[in-house]
Chain A
Amino acid sequence: MLTILFDGIAYGMLLFVLAVGLAVTMGLMNFINLAHGAFAMVGGYITVLAMQRLGVPFLASLPLAFVGAALLGAVLERTLYRPLYRKPHLDQVLFSIGLVFMAVAAVDYYIGSTQQIIQLPQWLKGRTDIGSLGVGHYRLFIIAVCAVLTVILQYILAKTRFGSRLRASVDDQRVAAGMGINVNVVFLSTFAFGSGLAGLGGALGAEVLGLDPSFPLKFMIYFLIVVAVGGTSSITGPLLAALLLGIADVAGKYYIPKMGAFIVYTLMIVILLWKPNGLFVRQGGKA
């Protein structure tokens, strides 16, 4: 019972890191980026290639995945995404879906379609039993990394000057620019940071979720559920949503295996019927 809860939390935390970047771009920048999963995949492949081809240790490859995905995010924001900010949402959806298919085909072509396997260091393998609770070392590691990230993220958005600038830029670009805020730089760095988080999520998830070129398509639904259920106005919303979904998914598959695959969707429908805008809605901002 406790083990299931633990596994569920770890899984939920992983979903959170993967999806939180999407919540940021969608909620704060008001841009629908369905290609978010592609950045996660890029992070995963950076880890795999760094470890297999260059012999980089696992821990060192995690920041690489973050930086790599963030840089790619920055470049694409400047070149492809910026012109689309003012376009209707449908254009954004179609454009980013197209990006996903291109990413899938590119990875398939250059690296191949096989499942990529990474070898974790010894101290991350195995598990420790504490009473009836079985703690997988790697899952504990995921929870720890994600918890730290959440705190940092919450701090940046709520307490720092950058956070206020970002929120100001989103609420009214013209006034923000008039106040001396460089809106372009704010958006660029936010987008890059969100992509970097996705990359880190992909790197962390390669071990648990598997990694092949269809990754962005496979998990797009999960990201969208997390964002839809959690709402896009804060960090706590997607966090709680991801935890809830992770635990429900794992517990559902454990206790009612026959229904297991549907629990997540059922839960999503119930929550959205109850709160159509997600669990947490920011007051006053643009919807």
Chain B
Amino acid sequence: MHKRTMLQAAVALALAGTAGLATAADDVFKIGLILPMTGQQATTGRQIEAAAKLWMAQNGDTVAGKKVQLIVKDDASVPANTRRLAQELVVNDKVNVLAGMGITPSALAVAPIATQSKTPLVVMAAATSSITEASPFIVRSSFTLPQASVALADWAPKNGIKSVVTLVSDYGPGLDAEKFFAERFLFNGGKVMDKLRVPLMNPDFAPFLQKVRDLKPDAVFVFVPSGAGTAVMKQFAERGMDKAGIKLIGTGDVTDDDLLPEMGDVALGVVTSHHYSADHNSPANKKFVEAFEKANKGLRPNFMAVGGYDGMRIIYEALKKTGGKGGGEALLGAMKGQIFESPRGPVFIDAQTRDIVQNIYLRKVEKKNGQLYNVEFDVIKDVKDPGKTK
């Protein structure tokens, strides 16, 4: 008798347990956000995490009757870590969406996992063109380097820059920037005098900048990861290159909003092309910047933050549309083709390439209220990633 009640109780408990688990899993929508929170790219992680949390604070954590849960993991920009974390998130935590990806190798490492498990992967930072081709489950909310470089190559020849030397960091995004800038610049009648590639772990930019100075182009086109941008700009100014009549142009990574306030006057007048500036003049952006700074002790949002913020919007909208029914494929379908007003301006997720289509702005560093900003002065509308048109 006693034994029997025990057994019954156990069975009942087990049933209740599984039932409880099942409802819990049904009610929770999990987003596995893998970011570099430590190491060299930690600022990327910090910005995106802050933006994602801001989005959730502003839009609530219940969507289509489901509780949204954000699981943040730190991969320190080591692709092997990213892969392991993604596997754990998919297998153990059963996440509905993977997101984040600070650098290209991380995104590429996770791509097969997204494909096999049919889990949508929202890339919020990594910017090499080919990433979205690595898996049909990848959607990108950041930008691609060809997008930014080509816009600059269109602008430069019309504005007195007829010859350039390119100077890029020797890795995926740098090579993308070099290739697409040079091709378009040649096509527009410009002359590329030399293409310099700087090792990624480079201690001193002196020899490369001296080479540029001796070649005397109208401008030097620079792409380096955002931390190194300051060193380039300082040495550019100290070498007296601006006085020798050479302009510094580049993609917006060089004058990253995150570091710009500390760069000092050497940054003044640098022309860059990019999809986002904290100074972008729109009500949506003013609201975004204000809320972001308030929530993060005055930290200025940069292009990484906007990638994270919009990435969260894409996930939220997809969940709303599917009502929480259907798996990864349904979610992915709902992510494709989204059109919305981002803090950076109007954007569109191209249903074919799953990559973002957006305005690219030309900006010049100016002082506003005693602070340095990338002030937009021209725009090229609805730029589709040029890496995919061929």
Contacts and interface: CB of A to CB of B under 8 A. Distances in A.
Contacts of A134: 210, 213, 239-240
Contacts of B42: 108, 112-114
Nearest to A1: B214
B207 A258 contact: no
A137 B240 CA distance: 11
Contacts of B237: 125
A207 B206 CA distance: 12
Contacts of A129: 240
Contacts of A210: 203, 227-228, 230-231
Nearest to A113: B42
A253 interface: yes
B227 A114 contact: yes
A282 to B, nearest CB: 30
Given A251-B207, A257-B197, 14 more contacts: A105-B38, A113-B40, A113-B43, A114-B258, A117-B262, A117-B263, A127-B238, A134-B213, A210-B227, A210-B228, A249-B207, A253-B207, A257-B196, A261-B199
A209 B227 CA distance: 12
Contacts of A125: 237-238
Given A113-B42, A119-B264, A260 B204 contact: no
A4 B231 CA distance: 18
- Ranked nearest first, the 4 interchain pairs of A and B with the lowest CB-CB distance are A113-B42, A253-B207, A115-B227, A254-B207
Given A7-B210, A117-B230, A127-B238, A209 B40 contact: no
Nearest to B206: A7
A3 B210 CA distance: 8
Contacts of A115: 227-228, 230-231, 259
Interface string B217-235: 0000000000110110011
18 contacts: A7-B204, A11-B206, A108-B39, A113-B40, A114-B259, A136-B238, A137-B238, A138-B238, A208-B204, A210-B227, A250-B207, A253-B207, A253-B208, A254-B210, A257-B197, A257-B207, A257-B208, A257-B211
Contacts of B234: 207
B1 interface: no
A126 interface: yes
Contact of A136 (B40, B239, B263): B239
Interface in B15-39: 38-39
B199 A212 contact: no
A218 B201 contact: yes
A219 interface: yes
Interface string A122-163: 000111010000101110000000000000000000000000
Interface of A: 3-4, 7, 11, 105, 108, 112-115, 117, 119, 125-127, 129, 134, 136-138, 207-210, 212, 214, 218-219, 222, 249-254, 257-258, 260-261
Contacts of A214: 39-40
Contacts of B230: 115, 117, 210
Contacts of A108: 38-39, 42
A250 B204 CA distance: 8
Nearest to B38: A108
A225 to B, nearest CB: 12
Chief secondary structure at chain A's binding surface: helix
Chain B interface residue bracket vs A: 20 to 34
A108 B43 CA distance: 11
A261 B171 CA distance: 14
A216 to B, nearest CB: 13
A11 B204 contact: yes
A114 B228 CA distance: 10
Contacts of A258: 197
Interface in B326-376: none
B207 A4 contact: yes
Contacts of B206: 7, 11, 208, 250
A153 B387 CA distance: 57
Nearest to A112: B42
Nearest to A105: B38
Contacts of A11: 203-204, 206
A7 B204 CA distance: 10
Nearest to A3: B210
A126 B238 contact: yes
A13 to B, nearest CB: 12
B204 A209 contact: yes
Nearest to B265: A119
A136 to B, nearest CB: 6
Given A254-B210, A254-B211, A127 B239 contact: yes
A222 B199 CA distance: 15
B211, B230, B235, B238 — most chain A CB neighbours (10 Å):
B238
A260 B203 contact: no
Nearest to A222: B203
B50 to A, nearest CB: 14
Given A7-B210, A117-B259, A222-B203, A126 B240 contact: yes
Nearest to A218: B201
B231 A7 contact: no
A63 B378 CA distance: 48
A251 to B, nearest CB: 7
B208 A219 contact: no
A137 B238 CA distance: 8
A30 to B, nearest CB: 29
Contacts of B207: 4, 7, 249-254, 257, 260
Contacts of A208: 203-204, 206, 235
Contacts of A112: 42
Nearest to B227: A115
A212 B230 CA distance: 13
A3 B201 CA distance: 23
B39 to A, nearest CB: 6
